[in-house]
Amino acid sequence: MAKKSTFFILNVKLQNVENNDERSSRYRELISELSNDRHILKVRAKNAAVIMYASYGDSSIPYIYGRIAKGIQLDGQEIEVIKDGNQSTEINDPNSVKLPNVARYIFVPLAHRLCVEKVANGPLPNEVEKYLKDFLVRYLKKDEKIEVILEKDEQTIDRILKAKTVLEINYKISYTNEDIGSAMDTLFDKELKDSKIGQIEVKAKADNDVDGLKINGTPILEGGIKLAESNGEIKRAVIIPKGKTKKETISNEKKPKTIEIEENDNIPFWEQLYKKIMNKYRPNAN
């Protein structure tokens, strides 16, 4: 039986770099530098830490792949241990992560997406998001700005768009880096860029509970909701699903989007994953 692997997705958006080729090159530099410098991020669990520590792939291939791990990081130059029934002191390296649970990652510059494998006791989606936000800024040039978005579950958005009635919606988004979308989200994305709006949060409530909000065909609602799929989140929505009469409150704030890949022995794993990402985010580039 073929092995199935699941990855969560982060949208890494570099701004103020106009040329697409230059932007792709900068993405490659940033992720490579981040991995090679092996920063350690302490996370909430006691003594737990995350480290991105390896990257592979030169300019001859259109992606970077590597490893990111979660383990234990201990402060201090010495630690107390018990061995063979005796307590003693051993030298500790505070710049190391012990007992790591290792996950694979791939970064595709053209799609500016980082996909990280879900593994038992490995880095959590919000931990990787914080890792990127905390450390990538250290490598930016003076005129550059970067935004990291943990992509959220698509089913929530699908439920909103297919609902019988949408009574309330609260979403937060930013504009895309040339993502391909439908007419409404492309139009609203352009309005955000033309207005120089880096981030916007919309709270809308219907003027009556019979008709609800008019979603279809409106850039600020249909367009904004669709943009939230990869460039934001649905913080809260109150809907009445088709075939039902009761209100439901839904959100995807804490529901990361994932993709699944069935590993094929006849095709290199990284090539499979790269093609899946490109088919999803840059279908016209293949």
Judgement on whether residues 187 and 139 belong to the same structural domain of the protein: no
Total count of domains within the chain:
2
The pLDDT of residue 254: 93
Beta-bridged to residue 66, according to DSSP, are 55, 105
Are 111 and 10 in the same domain?
Answer: yes
Give the pLDDT mean for 115-139.
97
Residues 185 and 266 in one domain: no
Has residue 220 got a pLDDT over 80? yes
Q: Is 135 found in the same domain as 14?
A: yes
In this prediction, residues 178-188 reach a mean pLDDT of 84
- Whether 205 and 220 share a structural domain: yes
| Residue 231, C-beta contacts closer than 8 angstroms, at least 6 positions apart | 11, 13, 149, 173, 174, 175, 176, 179
Q: pLDDT value at position 45? A: 73
Residue 192 — very low, low, confident or very high, per pLDDT cuts 50/70/90?
very high
Dihedral angle at the C-alpha atoms of 79, 82, 83, 86, nearest 10 degrees? 120
- Cβ atoms of 251 and 234 within 8 Å: the answer is yes
What band does 83 get if pLDDT is binned at 50, 70 and 90? confident
* 132 and 271 both lie in a single domain: yes
What is the reported pLDDT for 197? 92
Which residues lie below 8 Å from residue 183, measured CB to CB, with a gap of 6+?
none
How do residues 136-150 score in pLDDT, each as one tens digit? 999 999 889 999 999
**Residues 125, 37: one domain?**
yes
- Euclidean distance between CA atoms 203 and 3, whole angstroms: 43
The string of pLDDT tens digits covering residues 228-284 is 989 999 999 999 999 999 999 999 999 999 999 988 878 889 999 999 999 999 888
141 and 179 fall within a common domain = no
Tokens of 180: 């391909």
Q: What is the extent of the structural domain holding 43?
A: 4-151+257-285
For residues 34 and 158, state if they share a domain. Answer: no
Same domain for 92 and 232, yes or no, is: no
Domain check: are 188 and 168 in the same one?
Answer: yes
Around Cβ 147, how many Cβ atoms within 10 Å?
A: 18
DSSP-H helix ranges across 6-91: 20-37
pLDDT of residue 151: 96
How much of the chain, in percent, has pLDDT values that exceed 70?
98
pLDDT range class, residue 60, cuts 50, 70, 90 = confident
Q: What pLDDT, on a 0 to 100 scale, did the predictor assign at position 54?
A: 87
pLDDT at 18: 63
The pLDDT of residue 17: 62
Same structural domain, 140 and 227 = no
Across 111-120, 123-132, 177-186, least confident range = 177-186
* Residue 137 DSSP code: G
- CA-to-CA distance for 158 and 144, rounded, in angstroms? 34
* Measured distance CA(49)–CA(122) in Å, rounded: 10
Give the Å distances, CA to CA, from 184 to 13, 63, 189, 226. Answer: 21, 30, 8, 8
